[in-house]
A = this chain, B = another copy of it.
């Protein structure tokens, strides 16, 4: 299979883009930065190496785009209630760490600081996740759903860490089931944790 290169004036094929993104996440997830090469990604995506180079001049840029396009975003959604907001956040984290980009997401935690050009990108992702969680908790305090003495960091650490641990302990043959059940598990996790601050 070979893809049409998307030169100037040439529309991109979204199916090829999707395949490149997933191939880049797979290669990074399995082999890390040490094993991340344009050639390996091209082979995995079933396209020519030249096509990749037409779009990305370096593997740093390719990986950055793949992480941006391929990993589910963790961000603040205002559902109107603290419980609803936290369930949404926990569902996003479960989806990130159980879904098809999960190994790449875990690698990023481990290797981001040592990859040129990725460190800043990852720092931005992380701080937006942390501020999403903190904003949700602060809105809960403002709405009177939480006492203002609530230990924000502990609540955020146990929520995000509890979701991550559930994902880490998922056996490969249960991934699909647990991914579908993510909103349900998020409900249980949030109900459990909010009981400790009520």
Contacts and interface: CB of A to CB of B under 8 A. Distances in A.
Interface of A: 30-32, 34-35, 103, 106-107, 109-110, 114, 130, 151, 154-155, 157-166, 168-169, 188-189, 192-197
Given A161-B162, A194-B196, 4 more contacts: A32-B34, A107-B110, A158-B162, A196-B197
A154 B188 contact: yes
B158 A193 contact: yes
A68 to B, nearest CB: 21
Contact of A196 (B109, B114, B193): B193
This chain's copy number in the assembly = 2
Contacts of A130: 169
Contacts of A169: 130, 157
A3 B192 CA distance: 55
Q: Which 6 A/B pairs are nearest by Cβ-Cβ distance?
A: A196-B196, A161-B161, A161-B165, A158-B162, A157-B165, A158-B158
Contacts of A166: 157, 161
Contacts of A157: 161-162, 165-166, 169, 189
A135 to B, nearest CB: 17
A163 B157 CA distance: 8
Contacts of A160: 161, 165
A192 B31 contact: no
A27 B106 CA distance: 19
